[in-house]
Amino acid sequence: MGQIPQRFLDDLLARTDVVEVVGERVQLKKSGQNYSGLCPFHQEKTPSFTVSLDKQFYHCFGCGAHGNALRFLMEYDNLHFPEAVEQLAARQGLEVPREGANDPQAKARERKRQEGVNLLELANRFFRSRLKMPEAAQARGYLEKRGLAPEIQKDFAIGYAPREWEALKRHLGEQGVSDAVQIEYGLLVHHEDSGRCYDRFRDRVIFPIRDFKGRTLGFGGRVLGDAKPKYLNSPETPVFHKRRELYGLYEARQADRHLERLLVVEGYMDVVALAQFGIRNACATLGTATSEEHLQRLFRLVSEVVFCFDGDRAGRQAASRALETVLPSMIDGRQVRFLFLPEGEDPDSLVRREGADAFRDRVTCASPLSEFLFEEAGQGRDLARIEDRERYASQVLKALQRLPEGVLKAMLLGELSRRTGVEQSRFQALLSEANSRQASRETSSARGAQHGDLLQEDASADYARPGSSGTETTLSRVNPRRATSRQSSSLGLMARALQLLVHEPSLVARLPEDNDWCSPDEPDGALCGEVIELLRAGRYRSPQALLAHFHGSEQGQRLAELARREVLIARQDRGNELEALVDHFRQRRSRQPPEIEYAQLLAKEKAGQRLNFAEKQRLGELLLTLNR
């Protein structure tokens, strides 16, 4: 099937009322010209979610979610792009056109994709039907022994793969599904030496792995005899990717559409056993460590994630790896806990022995990320010894270097200071130095190419600015071009100033009233000037609101790019950095030939932009100079 034409998408969005689409799923109230309500994408008690009738987009000032009606359907209803377009089009009574729909190759690709989707559903129904047959008596006995009620088995669509070598192969073959397609989607194994194809899953209890819409993507099988491995997953296929999918996530959402917390456990039976005891917010990774893709999916649904591990050495090591992975995702408002079970226990056995209430109490009392972080760093170290305390602090700082800027990072630095007796400002300086070294290593080749240019700048642009305490700050003694190169060599100086304003809009108060330094001839200069005017108007006091103003434009893309880049400068030094950049531009402008400065001011006036008093006065001075 071909691509959807852009002209159709533009027309469809023009016909669609985003307030109507959102209002069917979120309770909205009229608030001035806009509508507001509780954000459906994160847990909140005070409304920060706004829908604009005029601009036809939604924006949350809490979590930053924003977009048009199409994006909302994709995020809220968990739809793929084509499905969201189809749904919007159906509201308008429109048929979605496709470019190249008559292309034989496009038809073949679509037919093959649909064949794979249907194949997995056929296999799922086959496994479920075989669980009811006499041959599955041992499987039913196993499930009964584990205490799984028929309702839970139905909710999780549990089935059985017969002992025969070709039972599924024969069944699907009768439906017209070729061996090649079955192999591609992980249902058959092809033995290269003999050339024989046979069922991948045999004599196993089958757990279907489903996507957010309940469609089968793959399978997990638990062996009933002594065969190895004990648990077997589908291989990577065109639709199944272990590092993205989580078993039980669909079922958890079906049980509660307003989840606040998700529990990540190790295996299928842990998820299902907890569900049997009424704990319906558990999911499991599929034989892999927790990945960034997993975390993105989890935090899109809830603000709190609890990782459950065995209490032995292997469990602690797995928890350490999870901590490393989760740190970059810990923006303010998110919470992670670590639950360690008694040795020899897993969630399945423990909930049966202690009961659901006791298990919930364990989850509630699980170690917060901060506690686990400090505990890990202190393992095997005597903090009464200076050397051990140094290694302890270094390990914590290495972890904090991965954390996004925010309240959590500041509080952890404060706690590290309290535990070690070292001033927090010293730790902040060490973090800044470490970030700078890392950026320098990553961009050393780019800096080498710019070396001659940097030397030329050094000769004309070194300067010093008194710090607030009466002494020169580290930043003020560095050439801004060189400082910027260390932080991010691919950003120009004006982009650097713009990035600081995007990350911290309150820094606009540190700028001079006159914007003459912000020349539209500089790359990003015009956009920087526009951002400054908006911030001074007092309407945009957060990065999210500022980005929402430019949403859908080229300027918005540029600002979003700058917002995604980390600012590798300590927060307390950013105001001084911005002032230093402004001074640099002013000094450089003062060295400009008067003809250029005069032409710039004249062009600004001719373009309809009002010159302020200082600019008019400067224009007169330049005119006298040029006429001499």
Check whether 475 has a pLDDT greater than 80: no
Check whether 123 has a pLDDT greater than 90: yes
R_g over Cα of the chain: 30
Which pLDDT value is given to residue 613?
60
Calculate mean pLDDT across residues 478-506. Answer: 65
Q: For the sheet containing 367-368, what is the strand order?
A: 282-284, 261-265, 304-310, 335-341, 367-368
Gap between the Cα atoms of 531 and 507, Å rounded: 12
Which pLDDT value is given to residue 325?
93
Hey, CA dihedral for 17, 18, 23, 29, is it positive or negative?
negative
Residue 466 pLDDT grade (very low, low, confident, very high; cuts 50, 70, 90): very low
Check whether 523 has a pLDDT greater than 90: no
Gap between the Cα atoms of 535 and 541, Å rounded: 7
Which pLDDT value is given to residue 158?
98
Gap between the Cα atoms of 603 and 160, Å rounded: 77
Higher pLDDT among residues 592 and 609, named by residue: 609
Angle between helices 167-174 and 104-130 (to 10 degrees): 130
Which pLDDT value is given to residue 42?
86
Gap between the Cα atoms of 406 and 403, Å rounded: 8
Tokens of 565: 């880049």
Which pLDDT value is given to residue 459?
29
Gap between the Cα atoms of 427 and 390, Å rounded: 12
Calculate mean pLDDT across residues 363-381. Answer: 94
By the 8 A CB rule, do 126 and 173 touch? no
Which pLDDT value is given to residue 2?
59
Give the tens place of pLDDT for each residue, 161-197: 999 999 999 999 998 888 998 999 999 999 888 889 9
Residue 606 pLDDT grade (very low, low, confident, very high; cuts 50, 70, 90): confident
Higher pLDDT among residues 148 and 297, named by residue: 148
Check whether 479 has a pLDDT greater than 60: no
Tokens of 452: 């001659």
Calculate mean pLDDT across residues 608-622. Answer: 67
Residues forming beta bridges with residue 205, ordered by sequence position = 160, 222
Check whether 406 has a pLDDT greater than 60: yes
Gap between the Cα atoms of 175 and 166, Å rounded: 14
What three-state secondary structure class fits 613? helix
Which pLDDT value is given to residue 587?
73
% of the chain at pLDDT higher than 70 = 82
Which pLDDT value is given to residue 592?
61
Calculate mean pLDDT across residues 491-504. Answer: 87
Which pLDDT value is given to residue 441?
59
Higher pLDDT among residues 244 and 472, named by residue: 244
Which pLDDT value is given to residue 477?
32
Check whether 450 has a pLDDT greater than 80: no
State which amino acid sits at residue 540. Answer: Y
**Span of 55-64, 261-270, 513-522 with lowest mean pLDDT:** 513-522
Which pLDDT value is given to residue 540?
61
DSSP for 486-524, written as a single string = HHHTTS-HHHHHHHHHHH-GGGGGGS-S--TTS-TTSTT
Model-wide pTM > 0.75: no
Check whether 448 has a pLDDT greater than 60: no
Residue 85 CB neighbours (<10 A):
21
Higher pLDDT among residues 301 and 191, named by residue: 191
Higher pLDDT among residues 455 and 106, named by residue: 106
Which pLDDT value is given to residue 113?
61
Give the tens place of pLDDT for each residue, 231-272: 999 999 888 888 889 999 999 989 987 888 999 999 899 999
Gap between the Cα atoms of 449 and 364, Å rounded: 54
Calculate mean pLDDT across residues 395-401. Answer: 93
Chain centre to alpha carbon of residue 215: 24
Work out the burial of residue 30: count CB atoms within 10 Å of its CB; fewer than 13 is exposed, 13-18 middle, 19 or more buried. Answer: exposed
Check whether 508 has a pLDDT greater than 80: yes
Calculate mean pLDDT across residues 489-503. Answer: 82
Q: Give the mean pLDDT of the chain.
A: 82
Which pLDDT value is given to residue 583?
80
By the 8 A CB rule, do 439 and 486 touch? yes
Higher pLDDT among residues 295 and 485, named by residue: 295
Gap between the Cα atoms of 412 and 422, Å rounded: 13
Q: On the CB side of 465, how many CA atoms lie within 13 Å of its CA? A: 22
Going through 10-91 in order, the beta strands assigned E by DSSP cover: 29-31, 34-37, 49-52, 57-60, 66-67
Check whether 618 has a pLDDT greater than 70: no
Gap between the Cα atoms of 452 and 450, Å rounded: 6
Residue 394 pLDDT grade (very low, low, confident, very high; cuts 50, 70, 90): very high
Gap between the Cα atoms of 582 and 515, Å rounded: 9
- HEC per residue, 390-455: HHHHHHHHHHHCCCCCCHHHHHHHHHHHHHHCCCHHHHHHHHHHHHHHHHHHHCHHHHHHCHHHHH
Which pLDDT value is given to residue 471?
30
Check whether 507 has a pLDDT greater than 70: yes
Calculate mean pLDDT across residues 481-492. Answer: 45
